[in-house]
Amino acid sequence: MQTRLKLLAVFLPILLTSKMALSQVNYDESKVPPLYLPSIFISEKGKVIDSKEDWENHRRPEIFRLFESEVYGQIPKDIDQVSFEVNERANHEFNSIAKLEEVDIKIQRGDGSHVMRLNVFLPKESDGPYPIILLINHRAPEEDGSLAEEGYWPVAELIERGFATASFHAETVAPDDTTRYVNGILSNLYPEQKEKSDGLKALGAWGWGAIRAMDYFEQHEGINASKSILVGHSRSGKAALWASANDPRWAITYANESGCGGAALSKRKFGETVEIINNRFTHWFAENFRKYNGAEELLPLDQHMLPALIAPRAVYYASAKADEWADPKGEYLGLQIGSEVFSRIYAKESPFKTNWEELNGPVSSNTLGYHIREGEHGLFWVDWEIFLEFAKKSLGI
């Protein structure tokens, strides 16, 4: 009886708070707390940052370290060897227009090794080199070859427009599951990361997968890796942003409806909150991120600093009007405020002069872009179509 009471005393408050957290999801703009965002341009020691040198050598590393320690956890850089086993598959659904390379990327580190599967489609007609679009895929658990879901990964349309396109499934690096996520690179390559409060978690592992895919693209004669685009939708959008902050080889990063812990400002507490996401997806973020459950005001950073880490490389966000859970306005604001690094440090003018409420179509420069469309959460052909206009302009193709 005593133990039961004790258990009840421990679990009841947890149950109540998680229930409360969900019932208190805020969708009312008038209830958004006043926004006090940490400044991108004032260093931890209080120095005003206004030069490229101070940004790249001092402030950027500070902000990077904050995201690593407080939000996503590390993406380990340490590998001893990477090799590629390529199988060109003859029969596949895009046979008439594309070549399919099924690539097993083998990574070794010390006594550990891991193999991840990447699928690459290249236009069949000429030799390229082609710009490449990589989609991180957390959908459908099938083998990657059959993941060319209409709209979500529109292989034929991308090939017809002269892009090569590739995808790997989350499962091949870290399963998207609260307990199974360790059954991938975490156990095979980086077991010591499991013990750390800023250790690698699933989002970082998917980002690591994108980095390995880039290793493959860079040595591929048919691929122009300097014109590379990293795309992720929703949870994979969060991973794409963090991957690109870690790996400067991506020319464009496109986060579609990445929401809480991705594009959207956490301190607005609109839609999904830090507490909700940490409680539901315990395997996505670093353990340290839980310190901010219900206490976003204590975060020493916010998501406006994430596109700033990617500058001056191109960043594109997209939202959907009915996707309030992801806080479309918070996504736009994050990029709008983050774009100040592009303009003040890199003299790349921001296209975000308009308030989110007054947007009436996509807005973009060569380096930054945003669109919001009608409808629900999802990555659809309409999103690709608008994005590709930006991508072509940005890459000069």
> Binding residues for ligand GTR, per CB under 6 A?
234-235, 259-260, 272, 277
CB of 206 to ligand GTR, least distance (A): 11
Contact criterion met (CB below 8 Å) for 89 and 144: no
CB of 258 to ligand GTR, least distance (A): 7
- 67/217 with CB nearer ligand GTR: 67
Name the H helices within 24-153: 52-54, 60-67
Check if 283 is active-site: no
CB of 67 to ligand GTR, least distance (A): 17
When CB distances to ligand GTR are compared, the closest residue is 234
CB of 325 to ligand GTR, least distance (A): 6
- 145/378 with CB nearer ligand GTR: 378
What is the Cβ-side half-sphere exposure of residue 12, based on CA atoms within 13 angstroms? Answer: 6
Of 43, 187, 343, 377, the catalytic one is 377
First to last CA, the chain: 72
Check if 233 is active-site: no
- 172/258 with CB nearer ligand GTR: 258
- 234/350 with CB nearer ligand GTR: 234
Of 234, 244, 266, 319, the catalytic one is 234
**Phi then psi dihedrals of residue 215, to 5 deg:** -55, -40
Question: What torsion do the CA atoms of 86, 90, 92, 94 make, to the nearest 10 degrees?
Answer: 100
Per the listing, tokens 């659904």 go with 93
Per the listing, tokens 């100040």 go with 340
CB of 316 to ligand GTR, least distance (A): 18
Taking CA atoms, 326 is separated from 264, 269, 322, in Å, by: 7, 10, 9
118: region left, alpha or beta (phi > 0 left; psi from -120 to 50 alpha): beta
What is the Cβ-side half-sphere exposure of residue 142, based on CA atoms within 13 angstroms? Answer: 7
- 174/395 with CB nearer ligand GTR: 174
Which residues are catalytically annotated?
234, 377
